[in-house]
Amino acid sequence: MIVTAHAKLNLSLDVLGQTGDGYHQLRSVMQTVAFGDTVEVDLTEDGSFSIDPGQRYLPADGRNLAVKAAKLFLEGTGLGAAISVEKRTPVCAGMGGGSADAAAVLRALNDLTGRGLSLEQLAALGAQVGSDVPFCVMEGTALAEGRGEKLTALSPLPDCAIVVCKPAFSISTPELFAKIDRRRSRLHPDTAGMLSALEAGDLAGVARRCYNVFEDVLGRRRGDVTALRSALAERGALGTAMTGSGSAVFGLFASESDAKDAWQALSAQYEECFLTRPLPGGGQPM
């Protein structure tokens, strides 16, 4: 079975503090977009597991989230899985590529085995694999809380054009969390305002509330991210922000032509630059 592993964006991202188990409490409005990796899954009767991760520097063993998801789903069945990934989602970009691959594997195996689990049940399995996997199973627009596994479905993001660009560097997620923990005071996203704007179908209201607290602790890379956000805004984006722990930056556009112009201009500067749209929830295998 071939499944699309749709990428995600954090329209807003807030870090509320640490939990007793060393994780962090998050509050984020998350959105699925209409591009991502292509994942092929085949059942193996000998119980073996393998993966072609699509990039030679990605783990091709049990460390890969897609393999973890397959082993968890097929535990006790005697079956295995051969997985192949065609990578499109940038790696180390804050777009949930590995989590989306794992979610795609869960959806595919659910159909291949005829097990018939609901999306909610698959999301619960995904929470054992990684914090972003439940959202990548459910897809759409959602408020993610806790470590990211507590999801509340939201009114969909109004249709718009989205330009996403990844600068040619990655950012250390543990380093950003450590900096957040040391920061005594910081700004927070207007999450309540964004939820109200989504409910009202107000794209401009959503866009002007896009905000990611990690941008405040980027250090020397903050200038690069700010410059990219400015470039998107200058070309008509209603709102911009970094997604996840970076380094990809997105802009929301009401005008399709403005978005295409921005994508064409920025593609000359950024190798990984994409023009896409928001995707509703409940994605199914192709």
Angle at 6 between CA 24 and CA 283, to 5 degrees: 105
- 14, 101, 132, 258: the catalytic one is 132
Show the CA angle centred on residue 246, arms to residues 243 and 248, nearest 5°.
Answer: 70
Question: Is 179 an annotated catalytic residue?
Answer: no
Phi-psi region of 190 (alpha: psi -120 to 50; beta: other; left: phi over 0): beta
- CA dist., res. 30 & res. 144, Å (int): 7
Percentage helix, strand, coil for the chain under 3-state DSSP, each rounded to 5? 35, 30, 35
Active-site residue, 202 included: no
DSSP state of 151: E
Choosing from 8, 14, 37, 68, which is the catalytic residue?
Answer: 8
Contact 254, 23 (CB under 8 A): no
Q: Tell me if 105 sits within 8 A of 66, measured CB to CB.
A: yes
Active site residues: 8, 132
